[in-house]
């Protein structure tokens, strides 16, 4: 059923990582990703890997969640690996069978890239696992708000995200209802060629759009009645505070960054 789709992938738990300020988490994940690209060697990836492993342990996220986030990118991961394996032609020639030639650098390069992509995905998943959509939007908004000086609509963007999150489940439910109603009138949504199938979506999409516009209109009215005037003079019930744990987290990540960049040289 369509309803089963969960929006966002917030994993409810109480942990140090969950309690961090969303802004800290966003910035640190961004920093972490940049760091992944600085590592020139697999050895350099070791601290990055350890840091992420420690963060997952602290966040009390079970292993199956990590697997779940890796699953959809598995094909891309393998493809990148294989391509690099065959196309890097430097270093010592290791395998030479028929037209397949694999070089030492090829293996190294393929592994590095795969680990990099893997850590990238798993680290950004940590952000969405430990931060609710609300605080995520809030964090993004606060981080973007300095850009308001150059007329960047930070508040509007955040509001749009919130409303989208709010109404996606409602519209999914509605789609299901409309599909049922049209099926009850004998609409055939499953068979036929591409063109027939596209055409069979018309009775679903038109009512859905009509309803979405009606909802938007009513919502705008309701927001107006609740004195919504955009960002002007608006306060927030939940304030964000950088705390000691945010500082510590930042220090740990920075330390890790230094390690990653210097590690290959040390060894």
Partner 1 sequence: MTNQEPMIRAEGLYYAYETEQNAPLPIFEGLDFVVHKGEFVAVLGHNGSGKSTLAKCFNGILVPDRGRVLVEDLDTAVEETLYDLRRKVGMVFQNPDNQIVATQVEEDVAFAPENLGIEPKEIRRRVDEALEAVGMSHEKLSAPHNLSGGQKQRVAIAGIIAMRPDCIVMDEPTAMLDPRGRREVISCIEMLRKEYGITVVLITHYMDEAAKADRIAVMDDGKILMEGTPKEVFRNVARLKELGLDVPQATELAHLLREQGADLPDDLLSEEEFVEAFSKLVSPGKEQTTQPMPSLLDPEEIAPSEIALRSEDLSYVYTQGGILKKPALQNVSFSVKKGSMIGLIGHTGSGKSTLVQQFNGLLKPTSGKMLVGESDIWADSKKLRAFRFRVGVVFQYPEYQLFEETVAKDIAFGPKNMGLSEEEIKRRVETAAKRVGLTNELLAKSPMDLSGGEKRRAAIAGIMAMEPEILVLDEPTAGLDPKGREAILSDIRRYQKESQSTVILVSHSMEDIARFTDRVLVLESGNLVADCPTRSIFSAAELLERIGLSLPQVTKIFERLQKMNYPLPSNVLSCQEGADLLKPLLGL
Positions in the binding site for partner 1 (CB under 8 A): 1, 4, 132-134, 162-163, 165-166, 169-170, 173-174, 177-178, 180-188, 202-203, 206-207, 210-211, 215, 218-219, 221-229, 233-239
Minimum gap (Å) between residue 206 Cβ and partner 1 = 4
Minimum gap (Å) between residue 25 Cβ and partner 1 = 18
Minimum gap (Å) between residue 137 Cβ and partner 1 = 9
Whether the CB-CB separation of 129 and 65 falls below 8 Å is answered with: yes
CB of 80 or CB of 132, closer to partner 1:
132
Minimum gap (Å) between residue 31 Cβ and partner 1 = 28
Minimum gap (Å) between residue 24 Cβ and partner 1 = 20
CB of 34 or CB of 160, closer to partner 1:
160
CB of 69 or CB of 182, closer to partner 1:
182
Please state, in angstroms and as integers, the Cα–Cα distance from residue 31 to each residue in 16, 48, 127, 192, 257, following that order.
19, 11, 13, 49, 8
Would you call 267 helix, strand, or coil by DSSP?
coil
What is the Cα 123 distance to its own chain's centre?
9
The torsion angle over the Cα atoms of residues 123, 125, 129 and 135, rounded to 10 degrees, is 90
Minimum gap (Å) between residue 229 Cβ and partner 1 = 6
CB of 164 or CB of 248, closer to partner 1:
164
CB of 151 or CB of 236, closer to partner 1:
236
Would you call 151 helix, strand, or coil by DSSP?
coil
* Distance between CA atoms of residues 146 and 138, nearest Å: 14
CB of 198 or CB of 210, closer to partner 1:
210
Residue pointed to by tokens 């960049």? 261
Whether the CB-CB separation of 15 and 58 falls below 8 Å is answered with: yes
Identify which of 50, 52, 58, 87 has the alpha carbon closest to the alpha carbon of residue 70: 52
């Amino acid at each position: 059923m369509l309803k089963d789709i969960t929006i966002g992938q917030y994993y409810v738990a109480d942990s140090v990582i969950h309690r961090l300020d969303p802004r800290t988490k966003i910035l640190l994940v961004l920093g972490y990703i940049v760091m992944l690209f600085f590592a020139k060697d697999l050895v350099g990836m070791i601290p990055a890997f350890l840091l992420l492993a420690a963060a997952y342990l602290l966040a009390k996220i079970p292993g199956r969640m990590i697997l779940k986030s890796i699953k959809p990118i598995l094909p891309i991961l393998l493809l990148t690996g294989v391509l690099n394996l065959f196309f890097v032609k430097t270093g010592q020639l290791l395998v030479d069978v028929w037209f397949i030639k694999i070089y030492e650098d090829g293996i190294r390069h393929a592994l590095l890239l795969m680990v990099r992509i893997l850590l990238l995905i798993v680290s950004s998943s940590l952000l969405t696992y430990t931060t609710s959509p609300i605080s995520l939007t809030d964090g993004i908004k606060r981080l973007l708000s300095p850009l308001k000086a150059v007329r960047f609509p930070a508040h509007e963007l955040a509001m749009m995200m919130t409303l989208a999150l709010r109404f996606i489940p409602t519209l999914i439910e509605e789609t299901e209802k409309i599909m049922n109603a049209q099926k009850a009138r004998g609409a055939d949504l499953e068979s036929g060629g591409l063109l027939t199938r596209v055409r069979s979506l018309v009775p679903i999409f038109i009512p859905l759009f009509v309803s979405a516009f009606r909802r938007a209109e009513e919502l705008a009215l309701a927001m107006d009645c609740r004195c919504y005037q955009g960002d002007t003079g608006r306060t927030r019930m939940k304030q964000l505070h950088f705390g000691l744990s945010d500082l510590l987290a930042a220090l740990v990540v920075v330390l890790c960054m230094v390690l990653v960049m210097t590690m290959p040289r040390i060894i």
